[in-house]
């Protein structure tokens, strides 16, 4: 149903981003069933890699189970990164060692303004467009567009106009 509703409006948008809660509940599973790709957030914290493993298994199950055979991993986004701490640096290094180019270059820093924006009912780019968090998300957007366009030129018969229309930002990696 969600995919059908989105497809009715797809001509009006280049991308549709479904930002989901950090759990594998019904909202996230429905979003994964509707999406072409999933951007997997990975907090630069101790238990994050365990949560990532759970999400990767769920994505594989959704694809193999037939709920969404098209679902692709679009990349891994490092979030809540505080490069001053050894733990954050270690998690980022481990993610890059294990997943290589799948990890986006853009990293979302730990940023007070990112936490404040929702309490004022605003997206970060309306609340404080020049804060480090907003800049990080802008960099992510540019990187996603670049990857999609690059994929379209590398895929025989594909064009930028046929690029994936749906992305999920969220999905449970603690």
In a domain, 47, yes or no: yes
Residues 22-63: tens digit of each pLDDT? 888 899 999 999 999 999 999 999 888 888 888 899 999 999
Locus of tokens 């994050």: 48
Output the pTM of the full model.
Answer: 0.83
Which phi and psi (to 5°) does residue 170 adopt?
Answer: 130, -170
Number of domains in the chain: 1
In a domain, 174, yes or no: no
In a domain, 153, yes or no: yes
Write down the pLDDT at residue 173.
41
CA 62-65-69 angle, 5° bins: 65
Write down the pLDDT at residue 49.
85
In a domain, 56, yes or no: yes
Which phi and psi (to 5°) does residue 122 adopt?
Answer: -130, 145
Which phi and psi (to 5°) does residue 156 adopt?
Answer: -55, 130
Domain enclosing residue 74, as ranges: 2-168
**Residue 3 Cα distances to 66, 67, 168, angstroms:** 15, 12, 12
- DSSP assignment of 56-102 equals HHHHHHHHHTTS-TT-EEEEEEEEEE-TTSHHHHHHHHHHHHHHGGG
In a domain, 164, yes or no: yes
Residue 164 has pLDDT above 90, yes or no: no
CATH of the domain at 89: 3.40.50.300
In a domain, 59, yes or no: yes
Which residues, including other chains, have CB under 8 Å from residue 79's CB and lie 6 or more apart? Answer: 41, 42, 43, 44, 107, 108
In a domain, 154, yes or no: yes
CA 134-149-142 angle, 5° bins: 10
Q: Which of 40 and 9 is assigned the larger pLDDT?
A: 40
């Amino acid at each position: 149903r969600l995919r059908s509703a989105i497809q009715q409006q797809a001509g009006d948008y280049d991308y549709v981003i479904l930002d989901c809660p950090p759990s594998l509940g019904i909202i996230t599973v429905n979003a994964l069933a509707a999406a072409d790709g999933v951007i997997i957030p990975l907090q630069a914290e101790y238990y994050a890699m365990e949560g990532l493993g759970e999400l990767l298994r769920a994505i594989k199950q959704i694809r193999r189970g037939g709920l969404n055979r098209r679902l692709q991993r679009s990349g891994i986004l490092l979030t809540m990164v505080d490069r001053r701490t050894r733990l954050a640096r270690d998690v980022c290094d481990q993610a890059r060692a294990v997943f290589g180019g799948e990890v986006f270059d853009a990293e979302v820093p730990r940023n007070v303004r990112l936490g404040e924006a929702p309490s004022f009912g605003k997206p970060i780019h309306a609340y404080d467009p020049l804060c480090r968090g907003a800049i990080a998300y802008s960099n992510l957007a540019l990187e996603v567009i670049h990857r999609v366009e690059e994929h379209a030129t590398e895929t025989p018969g594909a064009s930028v106009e046929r690029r994936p229309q749906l992305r999920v930002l969220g999905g449970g990696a603690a």
